[in-house]
Amino acid sequence: MGEDAGTPNWKTILSTLALSSEYVSAWEAITERPLTFAEFSTLPMPPGCDSLDMWRHFTTLRRRTGIVFSAEPWYAASEQVSWAYVTRQTQHELEEISSLADPSSTLNTSLRNGAVDLRLIRFVIDELHAACVRDGLPLSKNDVFAIYLGQRTPSTPAERIVKNFCTLHQQSASFASRDLSLSMLDRIYEGLLEGVEGPLDFKRVHVYPEDVVRTDLVESHAFAERTLIRCLESARRVRTVRDAVISFDETSGALWDLDYFDQLDGLVELLLRRIAFLRWRIPVMSYVPFTHLAKKPSNHFDMSTSSSERVLASKYSSSEGLDITFFFSSTVHILLVGLREVKEELERLAQEDEKAEQALRSDESLNQRQKDFLTIANRKLGYEATLKGYAEMFGVVRATARSDLFGLVNKGYLAQSYENRTLIFTLVSTAT
């Protein structure tokens, strides 16, 4: 059947439109990297088209090949679906993450050495402190560090919670052998509050983009529960590093925004992240200090890339659902930045270990026991030794242990101190 007179020939119009240089340039720009509407609207548009019409047209095309998230959006959207288009820039970043974090990668292989795992403590502390800020716990990074190392006995609810976190963090491998579920989240939450009495009055951090309209769903506990169930079910189907990144983005976002628990969503999310990455056999990803990198120095989360530049999808939602391309690309970029930092630190530690080994091998004034002891001590954060412990370790008499340890003190490898009349030997910082 032919078209009635006066009816536009849309096939002709679209084919002509798609051949225009402005159309091609705009499409290349919007698929190369994530653009805000403010950026897109500065591009030349095809004759007879305005930027909003073209954005909606491109949204339909991008949606067809985008990532569709399992949970319905909790920001305003015409359709109850959230999706993200993977631009070429984001695709390159995902490929690099996949290469670095693959289960068989050099980074994950190196983490099979528990000593290296322990020495990445600074990343754990950075992220733990950032989670404490999110949850409103009034603790400095030095406070968190002291509690993590067991150098301080908890005396406040906040300190007790962090101590409980450390215990749960050490048990994360056993959690990773179980299914990810709401009951697991409940057990984590209850574990964080072990021994904490009275109501919590911590003031959590909430910073949302100014021009993103949140729906009433964010106030519904039933919606939060349904969303988390969907996210956790999706997380069970993870097969690749890319799947893990997508699952992280959705599950972390749900716990971040929906306040499923009365308090401590940040710490629960951090533990769940650790457990999930261990379950997916990519433990190196659990060291990425995501929250630490995503917040401003003032401890408010840096949402400026989305709020001040106006993400179009938040204001001009279409029948395609909620376009969160900009948010997803930001998550991918932050994960990659953090993963690169972890990679650099692991490489530095490997070089440091090699130098220490070479120095020990070339020091002919040390006996083999002393060399073996320093090798062990260098790989354990905050390692301490006593005369009795050294003697038992090497099966020697106390006098030999004293001679060996004081010999290391005299050579500058160890420092000595007293604790309740017991001699304690610790590594000198320059030797670690």
Question: Quick check: is 8 in a domain?
Answer: no
Same structural domain, 38 and 146: no
Same structural domain, 275 and 399: no
Same structural domain, 36 and 103: no
What's the pTM? 0.82
Same structural domain, 268 and 128: yes
Last residue of a domain, one of 8, 40, 65: 65
Same structural domain, 242 and 192: yes
* pLDDT for res 335: 94
Last residue of a domain, one of 299, 323, 349: 349
- For residue 415, the one-letter residue type is A
In the chain, what percentage of residues exceed pLDDT 70?
86
Closest CA relative to residue 129, chosen from 102, 147, 107: 147
* pLDDT for res 3: 43
Q: Higher model confidence: residue 298 or residue 193?
A: 193
Question: Quick check: is 5 in a domain?
Answer: no
Find the angle CA(219)-CA(291)-CA(314) to the nearest 5 degrees.
Answer: 50
Same structural domain, 86 and 174: yes
Sign of the CA dihedral 384, 389, 391, 397? positive
Q: 48 lies in which domain range? A: 17-65
Mean pLDDT in residue range 381-403: 89
The tens digit of pLDDT for each residue in 104-126 reads: 999 998 887 666 777 788 999 99
Same structural domain, 52 and 99: no
* pLDDT for res 432: 35
* CATH number assigned to the domain comprising residue 174: 1.10.3290
Question: Quick check: is 220 in a domain?
Answer: yes
Q: Which residue has the tokens 């972390």?
A: 252
Cβ pair 73, 81 in contact under 8 A: yes
* CATH number assigned to the domain comprising residue 388: 1.10.10.10
Same structural domain, 58 and 137: no
Tell me the sheet residues that pair with 68: 83
* pLDDT for res 314: 42
The tens digit of pLDDT for each residue in 7-54 reads: 445 555 566 677 788 999 999 999 999 887 778 889 999 888 888 888
**In angstroms, what CA-CA distances link 313 with 89, 90, 245, 252?**
20, 18, 22, 21
How does strand 422-427 pair with strand 384-385? Answer: antiparallel
Same structural domain, 60 and 86: no
Q: What is the dihedral of CA 428, 129, 308, 311, to 10 degrees?
A: 110
Question: Quick check: is 12 in a domain?
Answer: no
Same structural domain, 88 and 112: yes
pLDDT over 60 at 2, yes or no: no
Last residue of a domain, one of 349, 376, 395: 349
Question: Quick check: is 320 in a domain?
Answer: yes
User: Considering just the CA atoms, what is the radius of gyration of the chain in Å?
Assistant: 27
The tens digit of pLDDT for each residue in 249-261 reads: 999 989 988 889 9
Total count of domains within the chain: 3
Same structural domain, 37 and 152: no
* pLDDT for res 402: 93
Alpha helices in 179-319, H assignment, sequence order: 182-192, 221-235, 241-258, 265-279, 290-294, 304-307, 312-315
